[in-house]
Structure 1
């Protein structure tokens, strides 16, 4: 079971450690790209003078790609394998990054959203292939440890991205004469990112990643048997896990996207300082994942997920009913408790699926569309009621995640049950 990682279980199978390191580098890449897209929210507000709800459409466009492309990516993995899918996904991201150039030149809001959507499509394909590939590079009992460790590299990217955005994109809008001049600040950064992703795609294409069709521990499904004919929707823990990912991604992205504006509303005057502080939200996730990969060798992943869910809920409640530094830092600390949520919900959700792992992964990756819906709802609530009152929505998300860890993640059936 992925529900508990034993200290005696090896991190990877023999000969798979170098491929594991290669794939973790991809986690860093899509973490950086995803979080950089969140920096567009305050930037679009400056360029187009729109409210939170409209600016949050940049996140909605990005994460809508998960709903559209997760299932097709699962099919693509079946056709060309994990490695080639990863390469294709990186090249799609290159195309999306280059689309920001005409979007900035034309100061065109729909084109900004289109670029975000294309980048999101590439990140979707990369996540849908890299997460299950990492999970099956070793024993199922240590899958949550591998994914948590890989997600730590993801957190390096998410920590660096706000600093990068603050230095090169989120400049003081009063220093520019026109919206076109503000929009122009995205061009060079995205050209550089496109070049880096192109080089990374070429490097992965020529790297040695073993071809894996299904988890090593799985048994072949009998022709016409129950395992072969079951729908992935019949696995309760997988479906509830997909809902958990929907809410987790929504709350993490929503809080990160509104953080800069929230910090300013709590007395922070500089946009750059607020962006730098937002990077600490992601740095907390990095620390939590590094620490969590060790804790998971001692504590069941479901139990740890519940503890972290309740702790995040308590911090968010505190931020809702305080102001100034306390309100700011309690929100920042939510990043630490977000840290182990994705890898643990994911591994709990695909536990016991065997040859249906790619289908379960596709379903769970589709649920990342929560990053399109929850932030939009949060933005609409913030426009109408204020940011702190709008935090009721992410609070509900955290409470569900805590419930899933202890109770909702128990498999009612697996691919190996009779």
Structure 2
């Protein structure tokens, strides 16, 4: 997609900063969920399965809204889709205030759904756009570089949760039972209200960012967004994609990768506390921060390695390593198992952008737009597999639940192996 006025865009740094910021902003929202799972489990006295519904509500938003977001982007353009997505994100964050006032878990889940709907717009538009801003041969590497800014937001999200949401006050079941009803209620209310101010600030910042993008002049794509939304689907593009075994492989691989990533990060705090008794939420969150640092370093390292190794072979190697790390965390819970989870994040780093780029590689404009929306829809894996892990944990242990990401990485490795074999032929 060549861009009109490229020389003018080259002289303006503001549009570039604003686009890169999107990767940062949705990274923060994604990983604040990992804090919310632990916080809501404490504030609402939830099972692991019910706490995991935080991710289910969040990623259901991605699944349901990704296709409408793709249609919207095709009709109204990239910039409009970004602004609309940021508005939904900001409104969802502001809904946390009334949800906390009413102390209603269901209302929190609805607010998360609204945030995820906004992020679906951002991801559906930003990811394919980056693959088109340069040579097709370097599209996968370029998307990995852009996605490297996503973990910075993730780390910021964890730090916000660790220092502004987690109170550091944790009571054992025996201590709670010894409290009066009034004391117990006051404790739960305090823990519920802890999310209000952080999400209020996030909502205001995101809405201000939407306004800044609205008043900023962006370079316009040469391709006009005048085709009807139905033409992409009615023209047979959808059926063509669904008959393409390579694309179906990318969809399945992305589904299981996202499920593995979200599952590991969602239950890291739970894993550390279960396998290292006496560890507080704040202390356990340090391991989650370490995972995100490893993830960020892996993004930059992976993008650099792609100068020397084919992206698909790097994907296959990293997936195989992660299968081993997940099986180790399952078999040896404790400090070394927690370190295996952290190391796993380094090797997860290249997976999402690489699978995404392989899925849209070599496709025409309509296939790329519709295919991008379908790939974003696979983020529903974060809802499905996190709930599965929570159910396994409730019936066995959180360490045993690591079998789910182990199997998921094996599926990613198989996809990469098949693509590498096809490329060799």
Q: Give your verdict on TM over 0.5.
A: yes
* Cα distance in 1, alignment partners of residues 421 and 221 from structure 2: 27
2:325 is equivalent to residue 315 of structure 1: yes
SS in 2 for 1:172: coil
Q: Give the distance between the partners of 1:113 and 1:230, measured in 2 at CA.
A: 34
Show structure 1 runs of 5+ residues with no match.
1-12, 216-222, 413-418
Partner of 2:360: 350
Across the two proteins, how many residue pairs are aligned to each other? 391
Please tell me whether residue 326 in structure 1 is matched to residue 326 in structure 2.
Answer: no
Deviations 1:187-241 (A, max 9, x none): 00001101110121112222333233669xxxxxxx9xx9869632122222211
The secondary structure found in structure 2 opposite 1:95 is: helix
Deviations 1:284-330 (A, max 9, x none): 11000011111112111100000110111111111111132111101
Distance 2:115 2:239 in 1: 33
1:24-35 equivalence runs, <5 A: 24-35=20-31
Conservation of the 8 A alpha-carbon contact between 1:83 and 1:211: no
1:182 is matched with which residue: 191, 194, 201?
Answer: 191
Q: Normalization by structure 1: what TM-score?
A: 0.89
Does residue 89 of structure 2 align to residue 76 of structure 1?
Answer: no
Q: Is the 8 A contact 2:238 2:370 kept in 1?
A: no
Normalising by structure 2, we get a TM-score of 0.87
Quick one: structure 1 residues 291 and 99, their matched pair in 2 at CA, closer, same or farther if it must change by over 3 Å? Answer: same
2:372 to 337, 361, 366: 361
Structure 1 position 411, deviation (Å): 7.4
1:374 aligns with 2:385: yes
Structure 1 counterpart of 2:248, from 235, 239, 248: 239
Distance 2:313 2:216 in 1: 37
Query: What are the superposed Cα offsets for residues 87-110 of structure 1, whole Å, 9 maximum, x if unpaired?
Result: 110010011001111111111011
SS of aligned partner of 2:194? helix
Q: Hey, what's the Cα distance between the residues in 2 that align with 1:158 and 1:116?
A: 16
Superposition misfits of 4+ residues, deviation over 4 angstroms: 13-21, 226-230, 408-412
The 8 Å contact of residues 132 and 358 in structure 1, kept in 2 or not, is answered as yes
Q: Specify the alignment match of 2:119 in structure 1.
A: 123
- RMSD of equivalent CA atoms: 2.2
Structure 2: runs of 5 or more not aligned: 1-5, 172-183, 225-231
Distance 1:371 1:231 in 2: 26
2:61 aligned with 1:65, yes or no? yes
Matches within 5 A, 1:13-412: 18=13, 19-174=15-170, 177-212=186-221, 231-267=240-276, 269-355=279-365, 356-408=367-419
Structure 2 CA distance for aligned equivalents of residues 93 and 144 of structure 1: 27
